[in-house]
Amino acid sequence: MFVSASVTCFFAPKIDEPKRSGSLGVSFTIDRGVNVRLTDEGLKFNGKDMRIPTAEYILKSLNYYGGVEVKSNLPLGCGFGLSGAIALASALEINKRLGLNMSLLQLADLAHEAEVLNRTGLGDVVTQCYGGFVVRKKASCPSRCTIDRYLWDIELDFLVIGEMRTSEVLEGSLKDVYRIGKRSLREFLRKPSLENLFKVSKDFAVRCGFVDDRIMDAIEAVESTDGFASMIMLGRGVFAYKGEVLKEFKGKYFRSKVSMCSIGFEKP
């Protein structure tokens, strides 16, 4: 089962019990992500034994006494929502294997719960349920969330510099991030365009103090060539429109299309 990566532009986090936890903000899915298949035992990521807390939670919750093998051409911990994607794909596969007849939203709520309890994400599974550019207007689980959706069919450039632990941000002081994120959402909704999305996203990252010198250098390089760029939330990386100049920077560069259909059969 394939589930797309989710890239967050900005967010306003709210932590409560799992179904009432989530985030306001804007994220989008791309045509890269994770392929998940069930195995007899163990958890593997690209052939290596690895502990994946969200997958473990799904296996236990759905009483599947086996394992999960994950393949992806994206790195873990770099802001691509892979923990949520793995949880959702695992739940979908187990539902099919065991004939549980659970709905997509039931499975998505469970994957969202896995994320919240493990502090690996707050809005990725909502975005992965719907695909495209998803505006989360209510901070909650997928079945309770209120969204807007924009089908901007574009290709984006990415530069991955390194990891950033989502748990460290979510376990810190969230009041300022929530206030800045909520303001960012209002600013975007006043003018919901691609250009404004990048402007609001960059301002959010700067106001929250997430941007370091390497990220800012990359963003400014894109802007100097008439492109748009911002920081991936939460990862040390940049996403950009008309950002081929990112090839010149140290890190992993790639291009990817925004995906409107984020769940499906295995992709290469």
What pTM did the predictor assign? 0.95
pLDDT tens for 176-220 read 999 999 999 999 999 999 999 999 999 999 999 999 999 999 999
Percent of the chain with pLDDT over 90: 91
Largest CA distance in the chain: 54
Asked whether the beta carbons of 23 and 13 are under 8 A apart, the reply is: yes
**Average per-residue pLDDT for the chain:** 95
Where residue 58 falls (left for φ over 0; alpha for ψ -120 to 50; beta otherwise) is alpha
pLDDT for the residue numbered 221: 98
Q: Output the pLDDT for position 264.
A: 86
Distance CA 160, CA 114 (A): 25
| pLDDT value for 234 | 87
Indicate if the pLDDT at residue 268 is higher than 60.
no
Tokens of 230: 């911002």
Confidence at residue 198, expressed as pLDDT on a 0 to 100 scale? 98
Question: What are the strands, taking DSSP E only, across 79-213?
Answer: 133-136, 147-150, 155-162
**Predicted pLDDT at 254:** 98
Give the per-residue pLDDT at 184.
98
Does 230 have pLDDT greater than 70? yes
